[in-house]
Structure formats: C-alpha cells, structure tokens
Amino acid sequence: MKNTPVVSRAVIVGFAGVTLLSALAAVDQPKPVAPPAAVSAPAAPAKPPVVRDAMGNALRRAPTGHLTNYYEEKVGIYTLPDPLVLQNGQSVRDAATWFNVRRPELIELYAREIFGRVPSTTPKVRFEVVATDPAAMDGTAVRKHVVAHFGEKPDGPTVNLIMYLPAKAKGPVPLVLSISFVGGLPLPPPPAGAPPRVPGRAEPVAEILAHGYGYAVLRYTEIQPDNAAGLSEGVIGLARATGQTTRAPDEWGAISAWSWALSRVQDFIETEPAVDAKRVALVGHSRLGKTVLWAGAQDTRFALIYSSQSGEMGSALARRDFGETVDDMAANFPYQFAGNFQKYAGHWNDMPVDAHLLIALSAPRPVLITTGSGDMWSDPRGSFLSVVAAGPVYRLLGKSDLGTVEMPPLDTPVATGTLGYLENKGPHIISDLDWKTFLDFADRHL
C-alpha cells in the first residue's frame, strides 16, 4: 500500500508528498507540561520508585527496551499511510470508491490486525426496562433503568443502562450515549487489598438535558472485564467455543467487545419512541475514547463521535515517538487488542493503519477530539495531527475539515467544522470546557 509522507513545522501535516520532520516542531512547541499528581495506591515495597524526567513526566521502559520520550525534537521522522490510496496503489478520487473499496479495506485491516474480529457466535441480547421514574431530577427528567441480558442463561452477564430523558419534550430527542468507568449505578466496594479508585468528574446530566438531549450511560466492565483473565468471561467468554483456552490471532479483544455492545445498545435505542435514534452521539474517555472511535467506524448509525484523551491506538498518531507507544500498549494491554497487534511492538511503521484513518472511518459524520496539556502520556499534539490528516477524506465527501494546520493555543476549541479539536489545561479527565465544547459541537450538528 502506498504511504504518503506527512510534514509540518510545529504541526507539519501534509497530504501530498511532504515528510514530517518532528525536530522542526520544537520551534513553537511548548515545553512538556508536568501532569498533575494522580491518586494511586502506595507502591509495593519490591517495586522501584517511579523514574521521572526533568519536567516531572513519568518515564517507562517497555519490554522492547524503548524508553518514554516527551520531547518533540526526539520524535523522529515518520510516514503516514495515505487515506486516499488503495492497497493496490490506486488513488481514491470519489465518494463511491471510498465507501465501496477504501473504507472496507481499512475496516478489514483494523479488525484483523488491531482490534480483532467480532465472531459470529456473539450472544443474543435481550433488553428489559426494570424501573421508571417519571419525576427524576426534580421533575425535569424521566429516568429509566434498562437491563441488557447477554446470552441464554438466567445468571448470564447483565449490563445496566441508565437513561434520562427530558420530561417535557414534545417529540423524540437526540441522545448522548456515554460508555463510562462508573456507569449510572453505584460501584460495588473494591476487593480487599485493591488500590483506591481514582475519582472522576461527574458527567453534567442536567446541562445535557438543558440542551434538549437525552442522556444514557453504561459501565464498560459490565460488558467485558478490563483485564487479561477476563477473556474467558463477559461477552468474549460467552462467544467462545466450549473448552477454548486460546485466541486466534485475529480474535476480538476487549475494545472490540465494548464497541460491539454499544451497537447492541443502539439496537435498543431504535425501539425507544422518546429518542431520535438517528441523532445519537457517542462519548468515551481514555480507553473508552478508543472504544467509541472503533464503534463509530464500524456502525454508521452513530451520528457523532466524541473521543476524549484516547491517546495511543486511539486518536494519537502511533508512528510518533511521544508518550505512550505501541510497545507500551502491546505489553500492558494485550487483551484489549487482537493477537496480531503484538507483532507491531518495535515495528510501528509496519502497521498498515494509524489514528488518522480510524478518525476518517467515521466520515462524513462529525468527530470531536479533546486532549489535555497535563496528560503528555496520551500525546495531545499527536491527536491534533491525526485530526488534520483525516481531513482529506472529509473534503472528498463534501464536508469541512478542521480548518487549520496550526495547533491552537490551550483552552481554544477549533470546532466549527465537521472535525473538532481542543487541548485543555487539565489532567486526564473530561473537563468542564471539554463538556461545553462537546455540547456546542453537538448543537451545531444534531
């Protein structure tokens, strides 16, 4: 497959034969910002202390020997796959070729090499409304508790979907669907000896409702556990053959399982008369930001995608040597990906895809990407560059791109087009400004 070099000074991204020289980016790139201290469990006595660079950024050495880099002048030179060149080298010059040839090629590459294929043995899903409160939130909302039952067994896995719908809506409303770390029900107590949970910012349900949207949230670990042992549990466990103990190289990982479940929730949403199922916005943060990008790429029923700080193998370019890398992901989260993903540790440039292609797979639908200056691990600049590099696909399909190749100042959204980007001054969270930017973005498109 032909690769198109991509260039920039501060952001050098091009689409027609320029080379990205990241050393030049140091001219106007702010010095790395030390992330705020995270809430974490005390380190076990046997573990060495965390090593940090001069700016306070944590340094990690992957099993490949790679050491974390946080400096633009050390990113190196890389070449991105051209989104508008087929694997046989032919150019994509019209929408029909994109939708009928190039897009299916990229979906296949991501399914086979990165996230894993959804098997034909996925469990059946049955939805049940178990409770309704017509006067929730001081009478401003109708709250529904919906339980998704996976598989045929009465004691099979269940997922709790909590929905809030404007009480005085005069017709079907658009919906914000959030896949979350905490969900809409209280978390069970942590196991004995487990590290304390990092507190997260509550999602602004009242503000979402005030914009005229419904809101629905589910907890991702109810779909599939977020650990390697969980590959025999959750929906992946239900889909496995009896006695199966190993995975095929292209078998689905946890991100594909979480994404698949979001499509099943969309199936239910299409039966809910109070919701306009053609105006559903997906929201996810961190690894769940990766999840919503992959869900939006596969399922075109989702009208808008908002991915917050999804970093490596999400919105940030994997070929950039900055912050978390493919090596780190392959070592620390192998269960989230297909087995084939492992072969790209230490060989990033051999991957047939990169983040700009994952974003482009949602075209022509709107996509918003947000990052945080206190989260250098997830490479904010790499996410900006990938949004810019997805632009040619949006322009081919008659939509606006980001509208700039210059990275905006902190706390300055660039979100008036079909693609949007913001780097806030915060840590690894969805900030108040992120939510405001998302709601303004959604208002323009939904």
User: What is the rounded distance in angstroms from the CA atom of residue 158 to the CA atom of residue 352?
Assistant: 36
pLDDT number for residue 156:
82
Alpha-carbon distance 85 to 17, whole Å?
13
Q: What percent of the chain has pLDDT over 90?
A: 79
Residue 23 has pLDDT above 50, yes or no: no
Instruction: Give the pLDDT of residue 238.
Output: 95
What is the DSSP secondary structure assignment for residue 274, as one 8-state letter?
A: T
**Distance between CA atoms of residues 122 and 84, nearest Å:** 33
- 140, amino acid identity: T
Return the higher-pLDDT residue of 190 and 430.
430
Provide mean pLDDT across the span 293-321.
Answer: 98
pLDDT tens string 183-230: 888 766 777 776 665 545 578 999 999 999 999 999 999 999 999 999
Q: Which two tokens stand for residue 221?
A: 């670990």
| Tokens 């306070």 found at | 56
How would you class 15 by CB atoms within 10 Å of its CB: exposed for 0-12, middle for 13-18, buried for 19 or more?
Answer: buried
Give the residue numbers marked as catalytic.
Answer: 286, 428
pLDDT at 45 over 60: no
Determine contact, residues 23/15, Cβ cutoff 8 Å: no
**Residues 137-158, mean pLDDT to the nearest whole number:** 93
Write the CATH number for 268. Answer: 3.40.50.1820
Say what the pLDDT of residue 239 is.
Answer: 95
Cα–Cα distance for residue pair 401/383, rounded to 1 Å: 14
Q: What average pLDDT score do residues 264-276 get?
A: 98
pLDDT for 29: 40
Give residue 250's pLDDT: 98
Instruction: Inform me whether the pLDDT recorded for 14 exceeds 50.
Output: no
Give the C-alpha distances (Å, rounded to integers) separating 224 from 157, 336, 346. 9, 10, 28
Residue-level pLDDT at 194: 67
Does a structural domain hold residue 145? yes
Average pLDDT, the chain: 89
Is the pLDDT at 36 greater than 70, yes or no?
Answer: no
Other C-beta atoms closer than 10 Å to the C-beta of 444 total 14
- pLDDT above 60 (res 40): no
Give CA torsion, residues 173, 177, 182, 185, to 10 deg.
Answer: 40
Higher local confidence (pLDDT), 234 or 194? 234
- Please tell me the pTM assigned to this model: 0.88
The pLDDT of residue 201: 59
Domain count for the chain: 1
Reduced 3-state DSSP string for 120-180: CCCCCEEEEEEEEEEEHHHHCEEEEEEEEEECCCCCCCEEEEEEEEECCCCCCEEEEEEEE
Q: Domain for residue 190, yes or no?
A: no
Rounded to whole angstroms, the Cα distance separating 155 from 187 reads 20
Residue 424 CA to residue 303 CA, distance in Å, equals 25
pLDDT band at 54 (very low <50, low <70, confident <90, very high): confident
The answer to whether residue 131 is domain-embedded is: yes
Query: Parallel, antiparallel, or unpaired for β 58-59 and 51-52?
Result: antiparallel
2 confidence band (pLDDT: 50, 70, 90) = very low
* pLDDT of 12 higher than 50: no
Residue 180 one-letter amino acid: S
Between CA 80 and CA 384 the distance in angstroms is 14
Q: How far apart are the first and last CA of the chain?
A: 36
Tell me: the pLDDT tens digits for 385-422? 999 999 999 999 999 999 999 999 999 999 999 999 99
In this structure, of 54-68, 130-144, 331-345, the range with the lowest mean pLDDT score is 54-68
In a domain, 28, yes or no: no
Domain assignment of residue 304, yes or no: yes
Residue 98 belongs to a domain: no
Angstrom distances, CA of residue 193 to CA of 40, 148, 198: 13, 31, 15
Confidence band of 153 (pLDDT split at 50, 70, 90): confident
The confidence score (pLDDT) of residue 17 equals: 32
Query: Which residue's entry shows tokens 């796959």?
Result: 81
Answer whether residue 84 shows pLDDT above 70. yes
Whether residue 351 is contained in a domain is answered as yes
- Name the band, by pLDDT with cuts 50, 70 and 90, for residue 41: very low
Structural domain including 311 reads: 125-185+202-445
Q: Does residue 1 register a pLDDT over 50?
A: no
Q: Do the beta carbons of residue 354 and residue 80 sit within 8 Å?
A: yes
Across the range 95-113, mean pLDDT stands at: 98
Give the per-residue pLDDT at 371: 98
82: in domain? no
Cα gap 361→183, rounded to integer Å = 27
In sequence order, what are the residues at sequence separation of 6 or more whose Cβ sits closer than 8 angstroms to the Cβ of residue 327? 62, 63, 64, 66, 345, 346
